[in-house]
Amino acid sequence: MVTIAVTAERDGEPRVAVSPETVKKLTALGCLVRVEAGAGARSHFADDALKAAGATVATSAAEALSGADILLKVRRPSPDEIAALKPGAIVAGILAPHDDRAGLEALASTGASLMAMELMPRITRAQSMDVLSSQANLAGYKAVIDAAAKFGQAMPMMMTAAGTVPAAKVFIMGVGVAGLQAIATARRLGAIVSATDVRPATKEQVASLGAKFIAVEDEEFKQAQTAAGYAKPMSAEYQKKQAELVAAHIKAQDIVITTALIPGRPAPKLISRAMIESMKPGSVIVDLAAERGGNTDLTKPDEEVNHKGVSIVGPTNLAGEVPVNASSLYAKNLLAFLETLIDKKDKTLKIDWDDEIVKGTLVAKDGKIVHPSLQKGP
């Protein structure tokens, strides 16, 4: 029987790596799921609900971990947590493998197989395991809800006997998974929505959601998408033209949601201090790229900056602020991944180390860091 341990996350992380639904499915696969008491509390997954779904509720983390084959986490576990598992156990979580190298090496030295869910290849077979998408979608939604709550005006147009309330103007910069959900959410709230991106494929997506597409559509724009579907870094010349366009547009906007990222690089700077100063007092910017340096000149991670009446917020864990949904979807991502690692007939772990999904996510094995993106240069 495969034993799966789930422990509580640290203080700043409200999510958890299982839900009653996934416990039920993992139990049906023949696994024993041991959850530390209270681990699901912040996602409103009560111990009793997890127990009813088939989990064993352990009174301590140590009891949940002892001799387990697999540890499921949202964030990186501590080396002590891993030490309590079976030697060479599997640890799956959002492990931030490119941050804190010394910490990663300490985890690797335990001999566990570390699997970073955010490195999941974006192939069709792995769509159900794509944690970046499941969490970014919720972050895009919550960014608009938070901005609307901060904005001291209504979102939809209202025609009343006392006069007309104008619709808010919302501008979404970066139309990936988070940006698309932000557009849809702002539209549902009745705002007038515009959006920009450097990838030409987004033009039609923006229009199909009823928003206006704005971009510098030159020759470079036509080539701005990589084979993997991501944006390329743009030339200085393009950035200049883009800045002129944004400067002209942004001064009439009430709410701006920025989500622009380029894999493996700092976030592109799209909004300058001068652009912020051109906005009306009371305007709100929510910068989802804060963790990677931010899309504005003034963003501070997990802080609210008020600059001449314009609020700039840089939340780094917005999905975690919708923990019930974020945990449910994240747990489903992990379940879909585990289903590929467990032999359904024998009810044992059977890992194909050559599988693209395993190779893509495997950060460390047998005490060594093995992922190609983490090998130190010659």
Site residues (vs ligand NAD, CB under 6 A): 122, 127, 130, 132-133, 136, 173-179, 196-199, 202, 229-231, 234, 259-263, 268, 270
We find the least distance from the C-beta atom of residue 289 to ligand NAD, in angstroms, to be 8
Question: 130, 146, 197, 254: which is the annotated catalytic residue?
Answer: 130
Which is it for strands 158-160 and 163-165: parallel, antiparallel or unpaired?
A: antiparallel
66 is a catalytic site residue: no
Cβ 19 to ligand NAD shortest distance, Å:
21
Q: Which is nearer to ligand NAD, 53 or 177 (CB)?
A: 177
Which token pair is 303? 């802080």
Place of tokens 């309590």: 84
- Give the nearest distance from C-beta 140 to ligand NAD in angstroms: 9
Q: Is there a catalytic annotation at residue 153? A: no
Residue 176 or 294: the one with the smaller Cβ distance to ligand NAD is 176
Rounded to whole angstroms, what are the CA distances from 249 to 201, 213, 253, 276, 325?
Answer: 21, 12, 7, 12, 34
Catalytic residue (choose from 75, 128, 225, 230): 230
Give CA separation, 160 vs 54, 78, 165, 298, in Å: 55, 58, 8, 38
CB nearer to ligand NAD: pick between 110 and 258: 258
Shortest Å, Cβ 104 to ligand NAD: 22
In the block, residue with structure tokens 């034993």: 3
Q: Which two tokens stand for residue 184?
A: 């849809």
Closest separation between CB of residue 201 and ligand NAD, Å? 6
The 3-state DSSP class for residue 206 equals helix
Question: Whose Cβ is closer to ligand NAD: residue 174's or residue 360's?
Answer: 174
Nearer to ligand NAD, 263 or 367 (CB): 263
The C-alpha angle with vertex 97 and arms to 84 and 234, in degrees rounded to 5, equals: 170
Cα–Cα distance, 15 to 32 (Å, whole number): 21
For the CB of residue 329, give the shortest distance to ligand NAD in the complex, in Å: 13
C-alpha closest to that of 222 among 247, 197, 205:
197
Q: Which of 122, 125, 265, 273 is catalytic?
A: 122
Of 127, 208, 223, 373, the catalytic one is 127
Considering the complex, what minimum distance in angstroms separates the CB of residue 239 from ligand NAD?
A: 7
Closest to ligand NAD by CB, 40 vs 174, is 174
- Across the beta sheet with 169-173, the strand order is 212-213, 192-196, 169-173, 255-258, 284-287, 310-313, 304-307
> Smallest gap, in angstroms, from Cβ of residue 314 to ligand NAD?
15
Rounded to the nearest 5 percent, the helix, strand and coil shares of the chain are: 35, 20, 45
Give the residue with the Cβ less far from ligand NAD, 202 or 328: 202
Give the torsion sign (CA, 26, 324, 363, 85): negative
Taking CB atoms, the residue at the shortest distance from ligand NAD is: 176
Q: Active site includes 133?
A: yes
* Closest to 59 measured CA to CA, from 36, 84, 42: 36
Q: What is the CA radius of gyration of the chain?
A: 22
110 vs 194, beta carbon nearer ligand NAD: 194
Separation between Cα atoms, residue 359 and residue 262, nearest integer Å: 22
Q: How far is CA 77 from CA 65, 116, 171, 217, 246, in A?
A: 11, 12, 38, 45, 42
15 is catalytic: no
130 catalytically annotated:
yes
From the candidates 133, 135, 181, 253, which is the catalytic residue?
Answer: 133
Asked whether the beta carbons of 325 and 138 are under 8 A apart, the reply is: yes
DSSP state of 55: P
Residues that are catalytic: 122, 127, 130, 133, 230
